[in-house]
A and B are shown apart, each in its own frame.
Chain A
């Protein structure tokens, strides 16, 4: 059994502090759901755990079975057993999906996987995820539809067998059938050696992959933790009730009506 412990995590992007002291403990065998309005730090939390260079940890710690995750490079974190299923997977020209997948699998093996074993694993998972067979030979995510990209993330998760998967809005861009296929794939991985943190806005995903723990992230802090009942409440009532408990929500970016103003002024000076 493995444990991922996050303590008092503060993270900045640019000059702005996004996470303001997150405490979270996840064990294998558990599935945690993180909910919260847009712009409150859910994706930042997952990216900071994976080590995206844009996110600067200013305080706190992340430990995986006692190992200091923050001291590891991104690839070391991956090989240590962390996986981030990204909200916007990158498109990389020239690299075929299968070359990439093989390189990723070999990165964590002492002896490279045989071509036969690799193809067998790949074919099996492609079939289970109901993916287009040609995806393996196409360039990495290039020209993939939104749903294909998300399935490709899940394919990687299945092939790499991480200890902890962080799934960032893995359900966005999926139609009903694809959502079912992806949910089944996540469920098939659930066991005592696999833990999962999911970020999503929709109850549907959590219905299909029921979490053991639910957290609400507001303004960079976990303001509430509980079980499935939290999801139901948010689904019915939104986040307004949280305000009533005394928490302020992070407002969306301010709107500046610059363009119209400028046009108006130009027009005035022309006539005046």
Chain B
């Protein structure tokens, strides 16, 4: 359980719910499963979450008013583990998360994350889901204050006999809220991937916008892939859009790259890389970018 890499000068390693190693910046405290951010200046910090087989952990994170945080998350979970996380982003706070899943499990892992955003709070999250193993992830965002914004980007790879299911849900509970998700997946071998994108605007939440794109690229015949967009809207004065597509790599794209001398393998790698790469744009950390690029070699296209 020590196969993680620290990529930030501030960090906190949480093992089965206990903090085992930490270097926290001023204004950041960890007590009773709750991490509270009251830092004056913007900080970058890495959280490493480690879970043994059959273990579970609950974590709460509070980002106080007007606080800015860049967060790198590394998740390494074992079979049948349960991870639950709640994040409270208070008024006008800004939270950027890059979340990498480095688990290499064989059986299911269950993850539920809920993010609650107050007035004018922003949460932008990039999930790099390139883990080896099965996974069931629920990522829910609740826009509970006017002007709250949630932007989610996900890059998933399901390969070999892995079965992965993701539910990204954005609930607009207030007027003038903004939700956007872009979920991109690649499935190869006998992998299975289901992505449910859900946007919900209840009555009275005028001036809100809910956008989503779900795309899955399929490499092999035995793959199973589903991209399901759901939009529940009970208000007239809103903007909403959705797109969902499951398909093979574009033949014309391949031809174009090959006509410049790239082999089919190189061309496929470049296209896949370009397809999943935007997820790292949420955070500006060179080490993370390099690690993500290395992890992408798992695509092996």
Bound together: yes
Chain B hits for A156, CB < 8 A: 260
| Cβ–Cβ contact B261 & A73, under 8 A | no
Whether A266 is near chain B, meaning CB under 8 Å from some CB there, is no
Chain A hits for B276, CB < 8 A: 94
Chain B hits for A53, CB < 8 A: 251, 255
| Cβ–Cβ contact B273 & A104, under 8 A | no
Whether A113 is near chain B, meaning CB under 8 Å from some CB there, is no
Whether B247 is near chain A, meaning CB under 8 Å from some CB there, is no
Whether B270 is near chain A, meaning CB under 8 Å from some CB there, is yes
With A and B bound together, what is the CA distance between A125 and B271 in angstroms? Answer: 25
Whether A227 is near chain B, meaning CB under 8 Å from some CB there, is no
| Cβ–Cβ contact B266 & A73, under 8 A | no
- Name the segment of A37-45, A83-91, A236-244, A246-254 touching the other chain: A83-91
| Cβ–Cβ contact A92 & B260, under 8 A | no
B218, chain A: closest CB distance, angstroms: 17
Count of residues in A whose CB is under 8 Å from the partner chain: 29
Known: A53-B251, A92-B256, A94-B278. A160 touches B271 (CB 8 A): no
B259 touches which one: A78, A108, A139 (CB < 8 A)? A78
Whether A107 is near chain B, meaning CB under 8 Å from some CB there, is yes
Chain A hits for B262, CB < 8 A: 75, 103-104, 107
Whether B298 is near chain A, meaning CB under 8 Å from some CB there, is no
A78 touches which one: B253, B261, B270, B277 (CB < 8 A)? B261
Chain B hits for A143, CB < 8 A: none
B273 touches which one: A83, A89, A95, A108 (CB < 8 A)? A95
B249, chain A: closest CB distance, angstroms: 11
| Cβ–Cβ contact A94 & B275, under 8 A | yes
Whether B240 is near chain A, meaning CB under 8 Å from some CB there, is no
Chain B hits for A51, CB < 8 A: 259
B261 touches which one: A92, A94, A160 (CB < 8 A)? A160
| Cβ–Cβ contact A94 & B255, under 8 A | no
Q: Which A156-183 residues sit within 8 Å CB-CB of chain B? A: 156, 160
Whether A190 is near chain B, meaning CB under 8 Å from some CB there, is no
A73 touches which one: B251, B258, B270, B271 (CB < 8 A)? B258
Interface of B is mostly: helix
Whether A50 is near chain B, meaning CB under 8 Å from some CB there, is yes
| Cβ–Cβ contact B259 & A79, under 8 A | no
With A and B bound together, what is the CA distance between A53 and B256 in angstroms? Answer: 11
B290, chain A: closest CB distance, angstroms: 15
Q: Which of A75, A77, A89 has the most CB of B within 10 A?
A: A75
B258 touches which one: A74, A93, A95, A100 (CB < 8 A)? A74
Known: A53-B251, A100-B270, A103-B270. A92 touches B264 (CB 8 A): no
B252 touches which one: A90, A93, A103 (CB < 8 A)? A90
Contact flags B266-296 to A (C-beta < 8 A → 1, else 0)? 1100110111111000000000000000000
A98, chain B: closest CB distance, angstroms: 12
| Cβ–Cβ contact A103 & B266, under 8 A | yes
| Cβ–Cβ contact B273 & A107, under 8 A | no
Chain B hits for A107, CB < 8 A: 260-263, 266
Measured CB to CB, the residues of B under 8 A from A are 250-253, 255-264, 266-267, 270-271, 273-278
- Contacts A75-B261, A94-B278, A95-B274 aside, 6 further interface pairs with beta carbons under 8 A come to A51-B259, A74-B255, A78-B260, A83-B259, A92-B253, A94-B271
